[in-house]
Amino acid sequence: MAEGIPQLVVDRTSPVPLYFQVAQHLEQLIESGAYPPGTRLDNEIMLADQLGLSRPTMRRAIEYLVDRGLLVRKRGVGTQVVQPKVRRPVELSSLYDDLRAAGKEPRTEILSFEVQQPSEVVAEALGLGGGSEVYAIRRLRYTGDEPLSIMSNFVPTELVRLQADELAETGLYALIRNAGINLKIATQSIGGRAARAAEARLLAESPGAPLLTMTRIAYDDTGRAVEYGSHIYRASLYTFELTLTTT
């Protein structure tokens, strides 16, 4: 069933562009569940007439939400709502906490949990010497019933005591903070690549599907490296969000 846009009065005196006012309102309706995935919107002409806007303004609002992965245009069907992506701010927080804060339902499957000597890459990232050991943790994180991310993390065993069952119930950073460690800053690199066959199976994607990648080294308030993480995310369900300012 086609839907209009209820309860929206655009403010023509506002410095916020009209298309963006419309797009933000639609985004709120989608993310609140008022417009669940599959909801079909009225065509641009009808929506523009309903709001007293020009068709180019309405088209721009729709295109903005298509670009953000919230709407999709289908030939012969029209404009439909799709499963909204998880948008994560680029800051020092855990995916578990970000999902909870966004009203999602995080769930974790422990793929592996071992104590081992770190690889050369991990030892260098964490500043560890010979004889050191790390927790090597690999988890599959869900949002609701949808697999979202495969996370590999390495934490020095000398810093904190971790258990697999606790990691299945809460986030890694919460456990680190509960141990009295104050996470302060991190270096992070974001990229992308195609899904390998084993990853695709875990993430319910096709081999070669686009994935977002993130590597991070987190430090405490003394400058000590606490955690090294290497994560991959489904690009179809996930995006990083940055706020940029001028100086």
Q: Provide the pLDDT for residue 180.
A: 93
Helix (H) or strand (E) holding 143: strand 134-143
| Comparison of pLDDT for 228 and 17, the residue scoring more | 228
Cβ atoms of residues 157 and 80 within 8 Å: no
Q: Provide the pLDDT for residue 90.
A: 43
- What is the domain extent for residue 104? 86-241
| Comparison of pLDDT for 90 and 233, the residue scoring more | 233
pLDDT band for 115, please (50, 70, 90 cuts): very high
Domain closes at, from 81, 97, 114: 81
Residues 97 and 197 in one domain: yes
Mean pLDDT across 125-144: 92
Residues 22 and 103 in one domain: no
Q: Provide the pLDDT for residue 91.
A: 45
Residues 217 and 152 in one domain: yes
Supply the DSSP string of 2-41, one letter for each residue: EE---S----TTSSS-HHHHHHHHHHHHHHTTSS-TTPEE
Residues 91 and 52 in one domain: no
Domain closes at, from 57, 81, 105: 81
Which two tokens mark 196?
């390998």
Residues 115 and 219 in one domain: yes
CATH of the domain at 37: 1.10.10.10
Read off the pTM.
0.62
Residues 10 and 23 in one domain: yes
pLDDT tens digit sequence for 135-194: 999 999 998 888 989 999 999 999 999 999 999 998 899 899 999 998 888 888 888 899
Domain closes at, from 66, 81, 96: 81
